[in-house]
């Protein structure tokens, strides 16, 4: 080894003093078969600090050891890599392994060699994905300091770009379905990640925003009611928890200051931004781990971010308002149809909740179960086309009257079928299929088994169960044991056998729904 590498003739120029972090560091892997190289490298860089973080050294004395260590420490920032070790090209094979097998493109690889003839610089730079090439004889202490500093800056910038890319990916992925609850969380998480990248927050940056629950902007927000809506770092798994249980007293005071002043509060290494909109106010954005003084342009960015998050949420609120209005109209229309008959009450509401429970137990997704629940009140909407004399006849219908009554399924389907709304489309299917029977003897189409839409199959058993358990103009309410016996006897005939089993497994929960939504205080449910 050349004596020049002992750095006896140069001392690095002092940098601006930094406060090293006690819990963070940049990992540097030294790969060389000479122990003196490891010792001297550590000595030369012993007081090195960049962005408040010191260096942590890892040592490998062969190419094989280096492969194991880099696999165990993928967050290594720099590798000081010798070429000639157990073989003449051991270092080059390590470089190839890192880039091609581990697909680690972040780590900065600095090739150091005492035998340049074994690995000509031009050839190595062209054929291997390395970031610098130094001869040990030219790598003095100052030059080593310089190359490590420049490599760390590159590594930091690469991480920032990758962090930014991940944030953008989340935003792009969420944009396709921004107005669902899940993608709204994904959207905010992505934008928060993007913001930390732009501000230059370090790896320990923590973010949390309070819940964006709608409230009256003219009223003061009670801090006790704020909860975590989205978080990163320390707050990543704290969503839904009260802020008072998540934050320490110092941070809570900063949150209260932001709420009181309705502004952005800047502290030494973190900020709390107050957010407001037409629908909400008092939501807060917390960002820590800031690298230094926030510039005016960055402050403007934070203000825009706070506004845009609220605008996005306001759009979600409007979307939910539209959906709620649509659901309410469905219920009101269904109840209007029920009021045409002598029997009034909560039939459509009970059928909706019964359908949801059966759908979930059957194995439908949350979205499908909710769609069925919101659409099921439309199952008898076709009764608007049935004459009152037939609809409210207290005696059994004759054959002609029964044929007229059966047309309500097709009438309901015709009323709803041309809608482009998901709930109305599902309502059309239910109106058409809820009187079809598993054995093919139902109406209006004589469909059989799985040709009957699952929405119709579930609504059928829910409708029959609720109707039998309540008084009608032509009958009294049936006791539960008699209803269960009838539904069991219709397994494979009127009802799908699997659904009958699901019904029996959930009957206690279904009975609770009937008790919660009775037809009247004098309900004769037995």
Give the burial class of 291: count Cβ atoms within 10 A of its Cβ; 0-12 exposed, 13-18 middle, 19 or more buried: middle
The residue among 145, 258, 204 whose CA lies nearest residue 22 is 204
* Residue in 136, 383, 437, 447 annotated catalytic: 383
Q: Is 406 a catalytic residue?
A: no
Q: CB within 8 A of 365, min separation 6: which ones? A: none
Tokens for 136?
Answer: 């040990």
The residue among 478, 458, 326 whose CA lies nearest residue 379 is 458
Q: Where are the beta strands (DSSP E) in 21-119?
A: 25-31, 49-50, 53-60, 78-82, 108-113
The residue among 304, 300, 245, 309 whose CA lies nearest residue 277 is 309
Tokens for 517?
Answer: 């939504």
Angle in degrees, CA 153, 156, 160, rounded to 5: 135
Query: In angstroms, rounded to a whole number, what is the distance separating the alpha carbons of residues 93 and 137?
Result: 23
Peptide linkage before 444 cis (omega within 30 of 0): yes
Query: In angstroms, rounded to a whole number, what is the distance separating the alpha carbons of residues 1 and 41?
Result: 13
Q: CB within 8 A of 448, min separation 6: which ones? A: 436, 437, 438, 439, 440
Written as one string, the DSSP assignment of 214-235 is: ---TTS---GGG-BEEEEEGGG
Q: Which residues are annotated as catalytic?
A: 383
């Amino acid at each position: 080894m050349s004596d020049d590498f002992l750095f006896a003739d140069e001392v690095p120029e002092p940098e601006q003093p930094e406060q090293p972090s006690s819990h963070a560091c940049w990992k540097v892997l030294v790969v060389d078969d000479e122990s003196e190289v490891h010792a001297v490298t550590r000595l030369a860089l012993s007081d090195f600090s960049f962005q408040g973080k010191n260096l942590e050294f890892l040592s490998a004395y062969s190419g094989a050891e280096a492969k194991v260590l880099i696999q165990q420490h993928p967050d290594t920032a720099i590798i000081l890599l010798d070429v000639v070790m157990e073989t003449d090209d051991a270092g080059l094979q390590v470089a190839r392994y890192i880039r091609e097998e581990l697909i680690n493109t972040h780590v900065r690889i600095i090739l150091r060699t005492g035998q340049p003839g074994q690995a000509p610089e031009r050839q190595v730079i062209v054929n291997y994905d390395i970031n610098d090439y130094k001869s040990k004889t030219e790598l003095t202490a100052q030059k080593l300091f310089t190359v490590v500093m420049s490599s760390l800056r590159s590594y930091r910038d690469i991480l920032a770009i990758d962090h930014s890319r991940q944030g953008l990916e989340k935003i792009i992925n969420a944009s396709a379905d921004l107005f669902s609850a899940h993608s709204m969380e994904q959207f905010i998480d992505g934008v928060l990640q993007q913001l930390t990248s732009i501000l230059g927050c370090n790896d320990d940056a923590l973010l949390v925003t309070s819940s964006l629950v709608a409230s009256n902007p003219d009223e003061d927000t009670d801090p006790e009611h704020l909860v975590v809506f989205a978080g990163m770092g320390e707050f990543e798994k704290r969503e839904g928890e009260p802020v008072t249980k998540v934050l320490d007293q110092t941070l809570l005071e900063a949150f209260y200051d932001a709420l009181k002043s309705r502004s952005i509060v800047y502290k030494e290494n973190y900020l709390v931004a107050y957010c407001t909109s037409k629908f909400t106010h008092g939501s807060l954005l917390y960002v820590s781990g800031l690298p230094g003084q926030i510039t005016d342009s960055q402050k403007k960015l934070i203000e825009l971010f706070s506004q845009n998050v609220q605008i996005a949420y306001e759009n979600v609120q409007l979307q939910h308002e539209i959906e709620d209005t649509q659901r309410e109209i469905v219920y009101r229309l269904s109840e209007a149809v029920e009021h045409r008959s002598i029997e009034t009450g909560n039939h459509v509401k009970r059928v909706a909740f019964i359908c949801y429970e059966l759908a979930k137990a059957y194995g439908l997704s949350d979205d499908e179960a909710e769609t069925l629940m919101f659409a099921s009140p439309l199952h008898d909407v076709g009764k608007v086309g049935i004459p009152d004399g037939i609809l409210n006849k207290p005696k059994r219908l004759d054959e002609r009257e029964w044929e007229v009554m059966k047309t309500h399924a097709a009438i309901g389907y015709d009323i709803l079928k041309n809608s482009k709304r998901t709930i109305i489309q599902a309502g059309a299917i239910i109106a058409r299929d809820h009187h079809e029977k598993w054995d093919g003897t139902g109406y209006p189409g004589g469909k059989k088994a799985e040709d009957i839409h699952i929405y119709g199959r579930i609504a059928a058993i829910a409708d029959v169960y609720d109707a039998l358990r309540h008084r009608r103009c032509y009958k009294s309410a049936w006791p539960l044991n008699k209803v269960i016996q009838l539904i069991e006897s219709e397994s494979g005939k009127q009802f799908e056998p699997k659904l009958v089993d699901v019904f029996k497994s959930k009957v206690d929960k279904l009975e609770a729904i009937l008790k919660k939504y009775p037809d009247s205080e004098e309900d004769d449910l037995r």
